[in-house]
Amino acid sequence: MKKYDAIVIGAGNGGLFSALSLQKNGKKVLLLEKNRQPGGISTSFKKGRFEFDVNEQMLSNYGNLSHPGELYQLFEKFHLNEKVKTIACHDVFHLHVKDTQENFIFPKGQEAFIEQMEKYVPGSKEAMVTFFGLCEDVREAISHYPKEKPSDMDIFYQTYPNFVELAPYKVIPVLEKIHLPKKAIQILSSFWVFFGSFIEDISFIHFALLVDSYVTYGLEMLEYTSYDLSTLIAHEFLALGGEIRYSSCVDEILTSDQKVTGVKVGNEEFSAPYVVADISPAVVYGKMILKENVPSSSCQLSNERILGAREFRVFLGLNQSLEFAPMVHVIVPTLNQKVLHKNQNSIFPDVLMGVVKNNHDSSSILELGGYFFQDRFDRIVKKENYYALKEELASMMIDLWESVTHLSIKPFIEEIAIATPVTFARYTNHPDGTTYGYLAKGYDNLLPRLFTKDKERKISGLYFCGSFGNFLSGFSATYFSGSEVAKEILEEKE
C-alpha cells in the first residue's frame, strides 16, 4: 500500500490549494480527481471560436501589486501572481431593477461608493461612512481572532467591542440601527446575489467582509479562463513533487476507530492519516464511508443543513463587442426584499447575473446566470421536457436581459450553450447540482461554522474544503478554505 502524508479528493479550487499548500510545506500529497482535468466547475469548454468559462472567472479580494487584497497575498506565497493575468472590472457591478426601470452603477473604492450612494439616496452618506467603518472593524477583528489561546478572549473582547456586539446580528437590523435610509438598505442588500443566500439569512459579519472586499479591491476578471488558473495551480503542485491521478473515483474513505487511514480507488488502496474532501459531505458520509463507521451526529448535521442556490446558465458568444466590458450586471425584479424572497418560489429564475467580457477579435462573451432555491428546478423538470425547458428558460433570460438593460444581443448571437442544475450535478456530483454548497442561514452562518469546525469533526483526520467548507461558497473563498485546511493539518502534525 502506497503511503502519503495527506490525500485530497477533488481538484476544485479548495482541493487544489489544499494540496499545493501541503506539498509546499514538505508533505507527500496525492490528489485524486474523478474528471479528466482539474478545476471542478472552474473549467471551460469551447464552442465554435469561443471558449466559455463555467465559473465566471471573477476574483474578489484580489486587487493588484500596489493595492493587494488577501487573495493576492495568498497567491504571492506561491509565486502565482506573476503568471495570473487579470483585467479590472470598470465598476463593482451595475444593478438593474425591473419594476422601476432604475439603474445603479457602483464604482470601487469606499469614498467613490459612498458618494455614489449619496447621489442615489440623499442623506445616506453619514450612515454609509459608519457602515464601512464597521466593515473595517470586522475585517481587523477576524484577522486577530485568538484561535489557540482562549485565555486571550478577554483581551479580544476589549479590543474589538464592535465585532463582539455585531456577531449575533443579521444584515438588515444593523443597517437600520445605523440609520441607513430604507432605499439605501434596499440597494446595498442587492449584494446578496453574490452569496447565493437571501439577505435576511446572511449574518452582518459575513456581509461586511464580502462587501468591503468587493468595494475596496473591486473585481478582477481573468484574462483567459478559470481553467487556465486551475491548470496553473495543478502544474505548480506537480512541480513541487505532488502526484495527481485524474479519472480516479474514490470508492471508499478508509477509517479505523474514528480515524482516517486512507482511501480505496478501484482495487488500489492508499494510506494517509489525513483526507481532505473538496466534495459534498452528503456524498462522503452517504457513499464513501461504511455506514457503521459514520458518526450519527455527522449524518444529522449534513442532513439538517440546507443546500445553497442551484444555477441555470446561458453562455452566449456574440460577434460584436459590448460596452463597459469587463463588467458584472445584476438584474432583480424589485428592490423590495420581501417580495423578492417570495418570488423565488416561482418556477422561473427572475434574478440574473450577467458577466460581460470582450475578446481580442471584436467578439464578446455574455454569461447569464439565474438562481433556483430549494427544489424549484426539480418541481418543473421531467425527462420528457428537459430539452424544451432548457430552451424556454434560456429564451426568457435573454428577453429579460434585453428588456431591463436595453442592450440588444439577439442579432449578434453566434454561439449558445446552456447548463442546468442537472449539468452541474453530473459534472461535480454535488447534490441537486448546487454550486453554492450549504445555504448560510440563521445560526448556521459564517462565524458559527468557523468557530465550531473542530467540534464538528467527528472523524479524526477528515477535513472539508471548497464550497462545502467553512468559508462557505464563492470563487475566492474556496481558495481560502483550501489554504486554511492545509494550515490546520500542518499545525496538528506539529
Per-residue pLDDT averaged across 235-255, rounded?
97
Residue 286 confidence (pLDDT): 92
Q: What pLDDT score was predicted for residue 287? A: 94
pLDDT exceeds 60 at position 328: yes
Give the domain 307-432 fold: Alpha-Beta Plaits (3.30.70)
What's the CATH fold of domain 2-42+223-305+444-493? FAD/NAD(P)-binding domain (3.50.50)
pTM for this one? 0.92
Kindly report, as residue ranges, where domains of CATH 3.30.70 are found in the chain.
307-432
Residue 151 pLDDT greater than 60, yes or no: no
Q: What is the pLDDT of residues 43-72, one digit of tens each?
A: 899 999 999 998 766 899 999 999 999 999
User: pLDDT class for 345, splitting at 50, 70, 90?
Assistant: low
The C-alpha cell that represents 487 in the structure block = 494550515
Span(s) in the chain for CATH 3.50.50.60: 2-42+223-305+444-493
pLDDT mean over 445-465: 85
